[in-house]
Structure 1
Amino acid sequence: MGARPRLDDVAARVGVSTASVSLVLRGEPGPSAETRRRVLEAAAELGYRADRAASLLARRRRHLLGVLLDVRNPFHAELVDAIHAEADRIGYEVVLSTLATGRDEERAVASLLDFRCEAMLLLGPDLPSARLAELAAQVAVVAVGRRDDAVDSVRSADDAGVAAALDHLIGLGHSDIAFVDGGRGAVAAARRRGYRAAVRRAGLTARVVPGDHTEQGGIRAGRALLAAADRPTAVVASNDRCAVGLQDALVRAGLDVPGDVSIVGYDDSTLARLVHVDLTSVDQDARAQARHAVAAAVERLDGGRTRRREVVLTPRLVVRGSTGPAAAR
């Protein structure tokens, strides 16, 4: 028996993108009438059928929500806790698949497919849009923390969150405010864009320091700032883990936070709330994100919704002890 046809097989037969094929098979607007006809004919000829459609037609419901998360990310842990509570309330079970050292997103997604989850809630995914479209043709997919036209999404307005951090620091007299980048992922890119836009509106000079969404990335950024001749008076980090690493590097070097340098994180995770960290951070409202993400998945599974949904929540800044007035120069 040959391998079961995949979404990219249909796309190759027609000569269009997998995203276009996914839109046709989900009945969403975009492709022309001619493209729709050719895609449907190719799908029929190849015998392509999405797993989710087949299971629903056969009425073999599993009521499983698969969740992809980074096991090292404390904010993801909070999201999962809230997702579990919401899923329990409506009679769904949750299957977890984690990112870890040596285990990437494709492998984590494959595990959820193996469990035959009816929907996937992907926390901060970095998969290409075409791959998300392919998954969405098989199961309901919700991207949490990232906007993508291929799937439903639930996220906070990262530009507004970073702008709130900048406004707070500017109000404290800071004018030299650096940003520790979160790396190449989609979430990091959104926050980087938010920082650049906010400093531009304020008439300040952007200063982006390489980093990533780990404590080690923050430590490296801290060492780079310590070696610079013109150290900033304030720094916004792309997430809390990075901010905590940055804080560690500066304090170990003998600097006072916030006396010498103010630091703002992003996520308002459990790390930020520790008394010895006391990090000013942007709260994304994990419980609201979890509630909307579960609702988006279930509306497709139980309510028959086909159009893409995007939920954008307004984040809020939680001020703690890591920020203070700008140090005199």
Structure 2
Amino acid sequence: MPERNGKTTIVDVARAAGTSVSSASVALGGQPGVSEKTRAHIVETAKRLGYQPDQRASRLRRRRSRLLGVTFAAHQHFHAEVIENLYRSAEHRGYDLLLSATTQSRSARKAVESLLSDRCETLVLISPDIDESELEQLAERASVVTIGSHLRVPGVDSLHADDNQGVADVVDHLVGLGHSDIAYVDGGGTGEAAARREAYVASMRARGLDRHVRVLDGNPTEESGAEAATRLLESRKALPSAVFAHNDMIAFGLLLTLRSRGVAVPDEVSVVGYDNTRLAALTTVQMTTVSQDAAQLATAAVDRAIERTDNAPPAREIVSPARLVLRATTGPPRPLRDR
């Protein structure tokens, strides 16, 4: 009979099959030591009882866990796409992932500690909300690879999109359409957000648009986009002809709020996001955005994580292309007299 909590153990399998626990373990582990007839009988018994091996206990018995620990923000659409590709790349290399989410009430530090306690061989941090000092301290305790972060720390691989080029392409696109009053909604205090914010300011100044530089405080959520839109609509300053957001989620919040307040997009205000998530491609959204190659970032991250597990190679910064994706939320600005 299964143990009281309802989970079938290898002891239950051995008892039902009429064999020793060691024989059941050998048979289910695919190891030599029992006849094929006995192995088939034990495997069939395990299947009938619904036995599922305890993978964590199995890893603990091995010298190598072959686990990559991944931290991510639970509410971020792009992080989910990266994880999907991480699973694909890790499985191809014979590794598995252990995920640990950050939320409003669960810090990056807590997410990391959980992974370290589970013997993850290397940590993969997706856009970690930590500073350089914290990352340095973590690198002294574990092998670390970051995705999306622009922080450079000795011994830590940094993989991210070419945000300078991606942001510059957005500004060039909008200026080419005739926009000059282009506002930007920030993504918070992470290194990734700082890089995009600085790239926006530099791109505007490079095109002689210093007086139009306007950075609105924000964080990478839809609610932040809605709040930014409300502030713009209530401000005495004229509504900008275009708004560029740190990510698609902010841009989505902007888009919905502007439309709900009767502002036509893109006729009155153009909106641009970043990440090219599935949200941006929805037929009811069709948002102009910047694509990061999630598959390329994930594959490179798994490769570097495994290299860090096997030895200690010099840290690398790997930059993937950023590509502007044009959709329906950008267009030429209305003449001032019509706005």
Same-fold call, TM cutoff 0.5: yes
Which residue does 1:241 correspond to in 2? 249
Matches of 1:78 and 1:59 in 2, distance apart? 31
Q: Give the stretch that moved more between structures: 221-230 or 278-287.
A: 221-230
Which residue does 1:33 correspond to in 2? none
State the Cα distance separating 1:137 from its structure 2 match.
2.3
In the TM superposition, structure 1's runs of 4+ consecutive aligned residues that sit over 6 Å from their partners are none
Return the letter of the residue paired with 1:157.
D
> Share of identical aligned residues, percent?
44
Is 2:101 aligned against 1:111?
Answer: no
Which residue does 1:174 correspond to in 2? 179
Is 2:268 aligned against 1:263?
Answer: no
Which residue does 2:100 correspond to in 1? 97
State the Cα distance separating 1:159 from its structure 2 match.
1.4
Which residue does 2:326 correspond to in 1? 319
State the Cα distance separating 1:314 from its structure 2 match.
1.8
SS of corresponding position for 1:266: coil
Which residue does 2:315 correspond to in 1? 308
Matches of 2:217 and 2:228 in 1, distance apart? 6
Q: Deviations over 1:11-66 (max 9, x none)?
A: xxxxxxxxxxxxxxxxxxxxxxxxxxxxxxxxxxxxxxxxxxxxxxx981111000
Please give the residue correspondences for 1:72-221 in structure 2 after superposition, counting only pairs within 5 Å: 72-150=75-153, 151-204=156-209, 205-221=212-228
Q: Is the 8 A contact 2:245 2:273 kept in 1?
A: yes
Q: Is the 8 A contact 2:161 2:320 kept in 1?
A: yes
Matches of 2:208 and 2:170 in 1, distance apart? 15
Q: Deviations over 1:264-306 (max 9, x none)?
A: 000001111111111100001100110111111111212x243
Matches of 1:116 and 1:328 in 2, distance apart? 61
Matches of 1:126 and 1:71 in 2, distance apart? 13
Unmatched 5+ stretches in structure 2: 1-60
SS of corresponding position for 1:267: coil
Using structure 1 for the length normalisation, give the TM-score.
0.80
Q: Is the 8 A contact 2:131 2:191 kept in 1?
A: no
Return the letter of the residue paired with 2:176.
G
Q: Deviations over 1:127-146 (max 9, x none)?
A: 12222122222221011101
Is 2:293 aligned against 1:290?
Answer: no
Return the letter of the residue paired with 2:287.
L
Which residue does 2:10 correspond to in 1? none
Alpha-carbon RMSD: 1.3
Q: Deviations over 1:116-157 (max 9, x none)?
A: 100010000121222212222222101110122221110012
Return the letter of the residue paired with 1:307.
P
SS of corresponding position for 1:101: coil
Matches of 1:112 and 1:305 in 2, distance apart? 20
Matches of 1:128 and 1:195 in 2, distance apart? 21
Which residue does 1:61 correspond to in 2? 64
Matches of 2:65 and 2:229 in 1, distance apart? 48
Matches of 2:315 and 2:259 in 1, distance apart? 46
Unmatched 5+ stretches in structure 1: 1-57
